[in-house]
Structure 1
């Protein structure tokens, strides 16, 4: 099966509309974040121009994370699309309009965010962020165009659920709230969320692939080898970042304990 086998005028229109919506909502949320923050947060006014860019950027990354994670959770766990008993079609080849829209929306986001990362590089993130975004785009675009492996892409997209905690940590840090109870609570939530969504979920991901490897082998060659190569790379990055998060949480807890 080739990538073009699942495409058609209506599908292509849906894909383009979804990607475009990702661009548009990123721009809208970016602008609204700046307007609201200027009126509501004193810390925002004190930031440099690049600092304000990152503040606004984290606003639309949080928005994407909430949309992508909630949609992925619904599709994988609660919808009939990937329910093993709902159809005789191979799980690896199942799609729906909502899953296509979710992937298209995320493509729009990752393209927008990657453009900003490169524009002010390395202010918004170093080389590892570029690698993460490129790998994500490479995998999502393949899955959307081919209609294969969407269940696994959606599992990985759910890992975006940790992004709001990462962003809140940055906001609190730049607002001078590192000693607040909210900063400590958010740090613990980030640690636990990362453990569940980016460590344990990947363990389940790999076990699920192993269990359904007879289906995975039916994916077209580039998609098949991507499924074998990209997730381990992302998992390795997640473990590295988890180690840094764990160190940060321990440091914060010790500081909070000594300040009492």
Structure 2
């Protein structure tokens, strides 16, 4: 009975205070798209001034260069917000009463809207230039992320698990930097070696160990998750599982790459 009362209370608050004003989630999505455009253009402008080889890149390489600058900006933003909400605030802490699956705030919902704007923008670019910016694995990853984030933004359900998964975006800047170094002809530099080691460590922590903790947390709070809407329930169980499988497959490739790079240096 207590679980049901918390559920209806959370739904009532979402209906009366958040979703009653569509400016909160939908405006944040538009802001996210606008910020992506700014990050894309800023990357292009700064690169043309400070990287001499930028002008010699092919057109599609320049597009991908700018796109990766945009994705790095989003990753830094959403990872910082995720760590702040999960670690530094009481929103998802044990000090608050009630199911963790229904906790949300205007700040947490707005930040998710910005992330939705990014995934819409990036997915549109992937489709427009397919497969230059990524194959089907990127389409699957972005589609799952977009659906899950959009649902938790609009419903207010499961935001804790969404933010836990979004912490894994801490690996994106390192992945993009590796591509930048490779494209700039610095594949044999010490920076490339250090970057590869960083990718291995951060990926292991943020996309392997962190996901194991998420599954453990889901197991401990399964009774709360079953009280969610059916769509949210299946998203909570399915999306982390699919992403973890993809992360594990990519991690094996990263491990092979690190071994290959270390062998060349030795």
TM-score by length of 2: 0.93
| Residue 176 of structure 1, CA deviation | 0.5
Matched, 1:103 2:112: yes
Matched, 1:226 2:222: no
Which residue is equivalent to 2:211? 202
Q: After TM superposition, which residue ranges in structure 1, 4 or more long, deviate above 6 angstroms?
A: 1-4
Question: 1:133 is matched with which residue?
Answer: 142
> 8 Å contact 1:143–1:150 — kept in the other structure?
yes
* Contact residue 19 and residue 154 of structure 2 kept, 8 A: no
- Displacement of 1:9 after TM fit? 5.7
Residue 78 of structure 1 deviates from its aligned partner by: 1.2
- 1:35 to 2:48 alignment: no
SS in 2 for 1:104: helix
User: What is the TM-score with the length of structure 1 in the denominator?
Assistant: 0.95
Corresponding residue for residue 196 of structure 2: 187
Question: 5 Å matches for 1:1-260?
Answer: 6-7=14-15, 8=18, 11-85=21-95, 87-257=96-266
Give deviations 1:73-115, integer Å, cap 9, x for gaps: 1101110101111x21211100012211111010000000000
Q: How far is 1:136 from its partner?
A: 0.3
**Separation in 2 of the partners of 1:124 and 1:42?**
23
Say what the alpha-carbon RMSD is for the aligned residues: 1.5
- Could you list the runs of 5+ residues in structure 2 that have no partner in the other structure? 1-6
Return 5+ residue gaps in structure 1 as ranges.
none
- Quick check: 228-237 or 189-198, which moved more? 228-237
- Once the two structures are TM-superposed, the CA of residue 41 in structure 1 deviates from its matched residue by 0.9
Q: Distance in 1 between matches of 2:211 and 2:232?
A: 18
After TM superposition, the structure 1 stretch with the greater mean CA deviation from structure 2, 160-169 or 244-253, is 244-253
SS of the residue aligned with 2:146?
helix
